[in-house]
Amino acid sequence: MSQNLVDLHCHILPGIDDGARDLNISMALLRKEIQDGVAGIVFTPHFHYERISVEDFAAKRRAAFLQVAKAAKETGLPLAAKLGAEVYFTTALPSLDLRALAFAKSNYILIEFPTTCHPAGIDETLYAVRQRGYTPILAHVERYPFVTEDPTLLYNWVSVGCLAQINASGLVREGRTAHWLLKLLEWNLVHLLCTDCHSIDGRPPNLKAGYSKLPTPIARRLRRNSIEVYLGDELVPPEPTKPQYRFGRWV
């Protein structure tokens, strides 16, 4: 797996969230992942504490996964996959069954913040999750306005043991977002590159294209990080640099 790609954040499972609507779309997404050289996938459907119990979510996730696994076997597609979740932030998170939400056979858990507001209680909740022995992976950190406005927030979370993930689409589209992502990488505030794919046309698998936009040493490091997380190994990232605001911009 050392020369292959790993996608730790995707919405390929059918009919469980706003990702693939049915099995046909799931298989099209899976074929594109494999064409791009993806050898390992963590399926991470959305989990909202306020909408569904952990038990019901796990049952629906397993049923959707079994559909994909059966179809992959019948069509001869190689499938090395694990189950996880993209957990919507709630201060109740530390009290939930985190084992059922974390990436299978690991202590990594993918957490998504709202994009419309800066929720209260982030620091305390992440601390409590870490105290339970889990490593939070902060999903698509480029999408949160409060982080863009003040990246020292991300620095603080990374400094205490959280990991940060970005979507390949931000690099592929280039422009302002890509420039910002490269700054975050320069500060060692990003550790993982994923697709967050939902559909073939709107939000497709694009991990190969995303890696192609990165300097080779950074791409190599992020690829290795994803493999370590997939395998459940402990990831020890480099020391982050705290962004400084000078002359109207972050440096």
Residue 198: its pLDDT value, please?
A: 98
Share of the chain above pLDDT 90, in %: 95
CATH entry 3.20.20.140 includes domain 5-250:
yes
Banded pLDDT at 33 (limits 50, 70, 90): very high
Length of the chain measured in residues: 251
Banded pLDDT at 3 (limits 50, 70, 90): low
- Bridge pairing between strands 249-250 and 38-43: unpaired
Name residue, tokens 């999903």.
139
Helices and strands counted in the chain (H then E): 10, 11
pTM of this structure: 0.97
Domain boundaries, the chain: 5-250
Other C-beta atoms within 10 Å of 44: how many?
31
User: Can you tell me the mean pLDDT for 189-214?
Assistant: 97
Banded pLDDT at 4 (limits 50, 70, 90): confident
User: Can you tell me the mean pLDDT for 89-118?
Assistant: 97
CB 208 within 8 A of CB 36: yes
Distances 226 to 23, 38, 155, 183 between C-alpha atoms, Å: 26, 11, 20, 20
Banded pLDDT at 248 (limits 50, 70, 90): confident
